[in-house]
């Protein structure tokens, strides 16, 4: 079985034999691209442009052929039949999803997408456990040691997905009264992005419900300092009011904060709001580009199949 970990520094093994040069050598980078975008076949011209876009078209295509040949050699060096994992035609290249493999990113995405529409308060014990196991796969950002442009969007997308899972688990444990677990998930979120004000606010709730009022007040001061230093803004009125209620022993928690709030509310401040809007627009643009690439590859494949069918019909 081919076992691949794309989170963190990246590792790949065929049974007990590591793939040499993974993930930083050029052929292994090509494999990583195919694994991350494993849902659809990739047009050769597009792959050549992604990796050798500064070369003339013919030279880029030649470099792609050489990289594919070297990738096949890497598979063969560990006893893995290349054709069991790579489907290569004159027009496109793809990873064979029906092959015998385990990819951490694939398991992570499938699990999180399965439960993404279930509110935290509606999660069963088994569903929460499955989410926790999937979150454990995220041992670091996607391919931490790779700085290619094509990795960046996927790295950010998976990080956002991970943060959403942590947020859901924090709320789940808060509702269940497992305050220590909820706080631990909150700290994991803040370790990746300490400017998420809603997380600070929810941690204030958790500390207060746990009976630690001083820690709840300290969390607000931590939040205020971070927002001032990182973004140049003050906490939202909602966060300040929560602090004042707790400070004067006037806070009367009833249940858990509404999950209908934005997953990650934007702190006040025009510059930060504009930045968030631009980032969201960029994400949408990248998603549309990916859809366009997938559609182009599928159309080329259909065109080839139709031509082959017509050719066979002509022969008969």
| 147 part of a folded domain | yes
Q: Are residues 81 and 146 in the same domain?
A: no
User: In terms of domains, do 73 and 121 share one?
Assistant: no
Asked if residue 173 is part of any domain, the answer here is: yes
Residues 191 and 246 in one domain: yes
Full-model pTM: 0.78
Spans of the chain below 70 pLDDT: 255-308, 314-316
Quick one: residue 12, left, alpha or beta (phi over 0 = left, psi -120 to 50 = alpha)? beta
Residues 76 and 116 grouped into a single domain = no
Instruction: Please check whether residues 85 and 139 belong to one and the same domain.
Output: no
Q: Which residue has the tokens 């995220």?
A: 138
Q: What is the CATH number of the domain that holds 55?
A: 1.10.10.10
pLDDT, residue 255, reads 65
| Cα gap 310→316, rounded to integer Å | 10
Residue ranges making up the domain that contains 13: 2-103
Give tens-digit pLDDT for 162-181.
Answer: 999 999 999 999 999 999 99
User: What digits encode the pLDDT tens for the residues 15-56?
Assistant: 999 999 999 999 999 999 999 999 989 999 999 999 999 999
Same domain, 138 and 237: yes
Q: Determine, yes or no, domain membership for 21.
A: yes
Among the residues of the chain, which ranges form H helices?
26-36, 44-52, 57-77, 104-115, 125-136, 149-176, 179-192, 197-210, 213-230, 237-247, 270-315
């Amino acid at each position: 079985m081919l076992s691949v970990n794309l989170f963190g520094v990246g590792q790949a093994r065929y049974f007990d034999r590591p793939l040499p040069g993974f993930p930083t050598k050029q052929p292994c980078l090509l494999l990583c691209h195919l694994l991350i975008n494993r849902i659809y076949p990739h047009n050769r011209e597009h792959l050549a442009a992604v990796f050798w876009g500064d070369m003339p078209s013919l030279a880029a295509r030649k470099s792609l052929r050489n990289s594919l040949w070297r990738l096949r050699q890497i598979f063969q060096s560990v006893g893995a039949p290349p054709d069991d994992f790579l489907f290569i035609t004159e027009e496109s290249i793809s990873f064979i999803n029906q092959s015998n493999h385990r990819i951490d990113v694939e398991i992570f995405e499938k699990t999180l997408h399965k439960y993404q529409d279930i509110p935290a308060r509606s999660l069963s014990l088994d569903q929460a456990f499955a989410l926790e196991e999937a979150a454990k796969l995220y041992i670091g950002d996607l391919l931490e040691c790779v700085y290619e442009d094509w990795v960046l969007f996927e790295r950010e997308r998976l990080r956002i997905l991970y943060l959403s899972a942590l947020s859901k688990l924090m709320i789940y444990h808060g509702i269940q009264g497992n305050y220590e677990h909820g706080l631990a998930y909150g700290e994991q979120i803040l370790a990746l992005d300490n400017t998420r004000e809603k997380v600070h606010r929810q941690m204030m709730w958790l500390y207060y419900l746990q009976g630690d009022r001083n820690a709840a007040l300290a969390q607000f001061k931590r939040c205020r300092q971070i927002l001032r230093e990182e973004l140049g803004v003050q906490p939202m009125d909602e966060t300040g009011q929560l602090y004042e209620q707790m400070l004067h022993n006037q806070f009367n928690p009833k249940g858990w904060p509404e999950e209908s709030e934005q997953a990650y509310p934007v702190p006040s401040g025009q510059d930060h709001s504009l930045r968030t809007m631009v980032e969201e627009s960029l994400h949408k643009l990248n998603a549309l580009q990916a859809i366009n690439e997938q559609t182009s590859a599928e159309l080329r494949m259909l065109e080839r199949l139709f031509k082959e069918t017509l050719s066979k019909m002509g022969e008969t």
